[in-house]
């Protein structure tokens, strides 16, 4: 966990210092946290230049919890480091689940290592900062607490996970059904009811209340028609879309990308993997192409259950192999020893199905496959498109000098490439929207220059703004009237 947190923090902060983070989305989170820390609860600047509540875009109020550490360390790096540290904790519940399932600390440690070597998890951590990514360890902690029948310990983790994004309650609702079936008890259905109710309130009431419009989340699935009702009607009248989204080329390719980094062992515990079904449908049904990739934060609702299914799948595979290896030996005749110990599927006590050495071997193989995936399709392989080119040290120095010219209390219009570094203020818009900003800061070279050529010409002719900095294509305009 320490190694993962340190490496992820260095990579994430390094990308930010190299100006490869953006106004959308790191800058949005920075502005919300900064405004909350200064008494403007969850306030941000909308795409039209007006001040709105973050709840009008996404219901992720867990952002407010970062306001206090922001007062101590008011830097976007704080959010990036905090995200890396929190997600690194996912190894701990994975270890507990592995110890319970396989009955061996070494095999459990292998499962924990595999969790942090999982490429979708790594992509989520390095995809700037998103509250939904924090749901990965929270859902794993809740899963293990429910597995251990510590239901009250699961409650705070479930509540915090639900506050990470409006769609996470759908996953939590199915998690309640899963444990109702698994435990053969009815009380987990209370989790399902509470989570489903919160989802309907978040998407159907909270977002429209703060946005005066339906959730953008809904519009990705309803063919542009507004409202939750249109989405429900569309799914009811076209149920085949659910099937084709999962088993069509896009859905199958996406599922394979989720499963192969663990050698498809998650399929050995299919019901556990199916807890991620709501997020699978959300991503495959979406009209947004980024949701069809494992290289973004949209995988956050699926990752915990792919990991949990991998651990429980190893138990099932080892049990099946163990029974086939010794078919003639009755279960009552087995005696645990240093080289042959077993784990109970229900309570972690010795059983006659999962030998210790076999558990270690399987966990080691999963770690090996995850390592191969990390260096072939993970973020370290450079497989993620759109992360931008590295800037030269000289150009970074020019940008840093330009940013020092902007007062902390000034309103700003900036291009998307520089916005994350200027968002710790009450108002900021994305160029070419000016909204009477006090300063306009642009990097006219590279990624965004060609898109903004016409707007930049208009700005140069605008008598309300004066160019006060111009070096290597980095421009700073100041409002003069």
pLDDT-derived band of residue 70, with 50, 70 and 90 as boundaries?
very high
> CA–CA separation, 77 vs 438, rounded Å?
25
- Beta pairing partners, 463: none
Show Cβ contacts of residue 61 under 8 Å, excluding neighbours closer than 6 positions.
42, 54, 55, 163
Residue 283: other Cβ atoms inside 10 A: 26
Is the predicted pLDDT of residue 231 greater than 70, yes or no? no
pTM of the predicted protein model: 0.90
> CA–CA separation, 224 vs 216, rounded Å?
9
**Tokens matching residue 265:** 């062992």
> CA–CA separation, 326 vs 318, rounded Å?
12
Judge whether 192 and 179 are in contact, CB under 8 Å.
Answer: no
- Beta pairing partners, 374: none
Looking up tokens 């703060």, which residue turns up?
Answer: 210
pLDDT in tens, 149-178: 999 999 999 999 999 999 999 999 999 999
Judge whether 102 and 363 are in contact, CB under 8 Å.
Answer: yes
Is the predicted pLDDT of residue 213 greater than 80, yes or no? no
pLDDT-derived band of residue 346, with 50, 70 and 90 as boundaries?
very low
pLDDT of residue 475: 94
């Amino acid at each position: 966990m320490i190694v993962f947190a340190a490496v992820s923090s260095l990579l994430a902060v390094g990308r930010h210092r190299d100006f490869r983070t953006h106004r959308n989305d790191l800058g949005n989170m920075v502005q919300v946290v900064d405004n909350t820390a200064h008494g403007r609860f969850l306030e941000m600047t909308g795409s039209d230049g007006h001040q709105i509540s973050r709840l009008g875009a996404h219901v992720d109020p867990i952002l407010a919890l970062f306001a206090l550490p922001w007062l101590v360390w008011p830097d976007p790096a704080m959010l990036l480091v905090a995200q890396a540290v929190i997600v690194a904790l996912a190894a701990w519940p994975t270890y507990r689940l592995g110890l319970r399932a396989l009955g061996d600390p070494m095999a459990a440690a292998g499962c924990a290592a595999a969790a942090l070597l999982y490429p979708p998890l790594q992509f989520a951590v390095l995809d700037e900062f998103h509250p939904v990514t924090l749901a990965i360890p929270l859902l794993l902690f809740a899963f293990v607490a429910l597995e251990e029948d510590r239901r009250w310990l699961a409650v705070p983790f479930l509540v915090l996970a639900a506050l990470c994004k409006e769609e996470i309650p759908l996953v939590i609702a199915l998690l309640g059904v899963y444990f109702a079936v698994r435990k053969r008890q009815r009380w987990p259905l209370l989790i399902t009811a509470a989570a489903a109710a919160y989802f309907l309130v978040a998407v159907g009431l909270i977002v429209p209340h703060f946005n005066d419009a339906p959730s953008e989340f809904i519009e990705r699935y309803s063919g542009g028609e507004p409202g939750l009702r249109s989405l429900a009607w569309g799914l009811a009248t076209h149920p085949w879309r659910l099937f084709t989204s999962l088993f069509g080329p896009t859905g199958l390719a996406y599922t394979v990308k989720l499963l192969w980094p663990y050698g498809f062992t998650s399929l050995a515990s299919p019901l556990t993997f199916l807890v991620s079904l709501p997020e699978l449908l959300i991503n495959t049904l979406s009209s947004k192409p980024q949701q069809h990739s494992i290289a973004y934060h949209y995988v956050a609702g699926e990752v915990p259950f792919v990991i949990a299914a991998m651990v429980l799948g190893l138990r099932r595979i080892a049990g099946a192999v163990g029974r086939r290896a010794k078919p003639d030996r009755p279960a009552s005749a087995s005696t645990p020893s240093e080289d042959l110990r077993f784990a109970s599927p229900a309570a972690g006590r010795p059983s006659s199905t999962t030998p210790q050495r076999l558990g270690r071997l399987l966990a080691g193989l999963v770690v090996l496959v995850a390592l191969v995936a990390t260096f072939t399709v993970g973020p370290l392989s450079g497989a993620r498109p759109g992360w931008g080119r590295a800037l030269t040290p000289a150009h970074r120095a020019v940008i840093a000098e330009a940013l020092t010219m902007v007062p902390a209390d000034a309103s700003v219009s900036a291009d998307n490439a520089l916005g994350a570094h200027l968002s710790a203020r009450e108002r900021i818009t994305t160029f070419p929207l000016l909204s009477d900003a006090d300063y306009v800061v642009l990097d006219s070279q590279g990624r965004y220059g060609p898109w903004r050529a016409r707007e930049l010409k208009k700005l140069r002719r605008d008598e309300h703004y004066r160019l006060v900095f111009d070096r290597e294509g980095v421009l700073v305009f100041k409002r003069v009237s």
